[in-house]
Structures are given as structure tokens and as C-alpha cells.
């Protein structure tokens, strides 16, 4: 099978490529615009594999997409603007990439006859969940420009199934962590700051709750949906590792040998969702289950950043983090 994987020079996409190369005989075209979060150093090891090809281009440019996508069996669509803080500062880029880009990809996929289209989304489209867990049929209630643009992209992708019969499947995953994550996100930012002896900025009272899943567990689930998911359906992916931000911070302090003096409380984010939680009954029904404990995989993630300074130090310098 030939896979067309967008955003695969980013965090989750680059790890997905490694997963596919390690577990299948598929070939992969990596299609990435190499924005600030896309980095050739994140895929340097896989570019030497004879089953990969790299195309440097924008998903919003239909002609480029058409030239690159033709002849592929499936699309796996990771490419997105994803940082909430950046979307609060300027949401226009998020609408362009997440909504327009998804529309271009679906339109081209429909034209060239792609046999499968996996659209990767987020649990944030459900909005803040005070009690219980979100199921796939819940009304969407995004509360940031980022999550609104992702919700829009979900609806665009699903509309191509309803209108044209494009075999779209959608996944909505909880917060990912692991190697090669751009260091503006909380776990790599806090980890690298602490390794450098710097304080970490903790929003508000620190009691916002997130469910954390290791990127490899996410990618195993996503690939299962690509292979076995029902076209037109949505599948939540989560780990049940719900912790408050302050609890997460204390775990990272312990793993890096720092104390509470390294916490710097900062003003809360605008519209900060209090809690996310997804019901995973549907993905579990496909045979997926979590393979990693949070404690062990968080420790291994911290160790990865400890031993891979040559990857993240240039990124932090360039981004002024």
C-alpha cells in the first residue's frame, strides 16, 4: 500500500511514519510544508529508507497536492496548526491550514480516487467536559480558534463521505506526548526548561485536567482505524490518564530532580478548557488497548529529551522559548 501522509515532519506524523515502516511493508510519501513545527531533523532517520519519499509543499496548494497524491492508496492527514496559544494570537492561519487545507486534500483525494482517507483530529473539538466522557455523537462545542478550526476540518472531511462517498474515517485523540514533540507544548517545554535549570510557567490554579496518551499508542490506534474503521465514522482515542496540570508539573519536577521553586504561576490562558475526557468504547471494539503505563512512558519521554539536546536546543533558540 502507498500512503500519503501529511504533516509527517511534525510530532505525531513523524512517529506514525516510524511505526508504519517498522510494522508493515507499506511505502510512504511524506508531504509537509516545514512550518516552524515541521522539522527535517525529526525524519532524518526515515528519509534514508527506500520506502519513503519527501515532498516539501503546502496542503492548501491544490496543484501541488494533486501532483504528489496521484497513485496513492490512502491518505493519512496529520497536517494542522495545533497550538492553542498561537491560535488566540492569530486564528487566521489555523482556519487556512486546518479548514482550507483539509478541503483541498479531500477534493484531490476524491478526484484521484484514493481508497481511504484518515483524518486525525482532537478531543478538544468537544469543548470543556465537566463530567463524564465525550462520545463520538456528542455535539461539538470548541472554545478556541484552534479547536474551532479542527472541528470545521472534521465536518469538511465527513461531508466528503456524505456527498461524494470518499471513504473518510476520523479519529479524535487526547493529549499526546513522546519524542520529537515541538518544545512549545507543555511536556517538552517543561521538561527542557527543567533540564536547563529554568522555571516552568503554570497556568492559573493548575487544576485543568488532561488525558495523556503516548504517541505510539495513539499511532497504533490510528493505523487500526485506517485499516478497519468504518467509512464515515469517528473514533475517539484516549488513555484514561487524567491528571491536573499541577500534578503533571510535579511529576516532571521529580523526574528532573527539581523542586517547587521551579514553578512560576502565570495568568490563565483565555478560554482555558477545564477538562477533556473521551469514551474509548468504539476504538476498543476494534481490538485496540493501551500498551504503555503513564508513569513508565513519561519517564522514558523525559529521558529522551535528556539525551537528545541536539534535536530540541536549536528549536528552542530559534523560537525564543
Residues 196-236: tens digit of each pLDDT: 999 999 999 999 999 999 999 999 999 999 999 999 999 99
Q: What is the dihedral of CA 89, 9, 18, 225, to 10 degrees?
A: 50
The residues carrying an active-site annotation are 123-124, 146
The model's pTM: 0.97
In contact, 304 and 15? CB cutoff 8 Å:
no
Three-state SS at 236: strand
Quote the pLDDT of residue 51. Answer: 96
Query: For residues 230 and 164, what is the distance between their CA atoms, to the nearest angstrom?
Result: 16
Domains of the chain: 2-176+212-237 (3.40.50.720), 178-210+241-271+292-319 (3.90.25.10)
Residues of the chain with pLDDT under 50: none
* C-alpha to C-alpha distances, 220 to 18, 113, 202, 225, 286, nearest whole angstrom: 11, 25, 31, 9, 12
Amino acid at each position: 500500500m502507498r500512503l500519503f501522509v501529511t504533516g509527517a515532519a511534525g510530532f505525531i506524523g513523524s512517529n506514525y511514519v516510524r511505526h508504519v515502516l517498522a510494522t508493515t511493508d507499506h511505502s510512504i510519501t511524506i508531504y509537509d510544508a516545514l512550518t516552524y513545527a515541521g522539522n527535517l531533523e525529526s525524519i532524518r532517520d526515515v528519509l534514508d529508507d527506500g520506502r519513503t519519499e519527501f515532498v516539501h509543499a503546502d496542503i492548501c496548494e491544490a496543484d501541488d497536492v494533486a501532483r504528489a497524491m496521484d497513485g496513492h492508496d490512502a491518505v493519512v492527514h496529520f497536517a494542522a496548526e495545533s497550538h492553542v496559544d498561537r491560535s488566540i494570537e492569530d486564528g487566521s492561519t489555523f482556519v487556512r491550514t486546518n479548514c482550507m487545507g483539509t478541503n483541498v486534500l479531500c477534493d484531490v483525494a476524491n478526484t484521484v480516487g484514493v481508497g481511504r482517507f484518515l483524518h486525525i483530529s482532537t478531543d478538544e473539538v468537544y469543548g470543556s467536559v465537566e463530567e463524564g466522557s465525550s462520545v463520538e455523537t456528542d455535539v461539538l462545542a470548541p472554545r478556541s480558534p484552534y479547536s474551532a478550526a479542527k472541528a470545521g476540518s472534521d465536518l469538511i472531511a465527513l461531508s466528503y463521505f456524505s456527498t461524494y462517498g470518499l471513504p473518510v474515517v476520523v479519529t479524535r485523540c487526547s493529549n499526546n506526548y513522546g519524542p520529537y514533540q515541538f518544545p512549545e507544548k507543555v511536556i517538552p517545554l517543561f521538561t527542557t526548561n527543567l533540564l536547563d535549570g529554568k522555571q516552568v510557567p503554570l497556568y492559573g490554579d493548575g487544576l485543568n485536567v488532561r488525558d495523556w496518551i503516548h504517541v505510539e499508542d495513539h499511532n497504533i490506534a490510528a493505523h487500526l482505524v485506517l485499516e478497519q474503521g468504518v467509512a464515515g465514522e469517528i473514533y475517539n482515542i484516549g488513555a484514561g490518564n487524567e491528571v491536573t496540570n499541577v500534578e503533571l508539573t510535579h511529576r516532571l519536577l521529580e523526574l528532573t530532580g527539581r523542586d517547587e521553586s521551579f514553578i512560576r504561576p502565570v495568568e490563565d490562558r483565555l478560554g482555558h478548557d477545564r477538562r477533556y475526557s473521551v469514551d474509548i468504547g468504539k476504538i476498543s471494539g476494534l481490538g485496540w488497548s493501551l500498551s504503555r503505563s503513564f508513569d513508565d512512558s513519561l519517564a522514558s519521554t523525559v529521558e529522551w529529551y535528556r539525551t537528545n539536546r541536539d534535536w530540541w536546543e536549536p528549536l528552542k533558540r530559534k523560537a525564543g522559548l
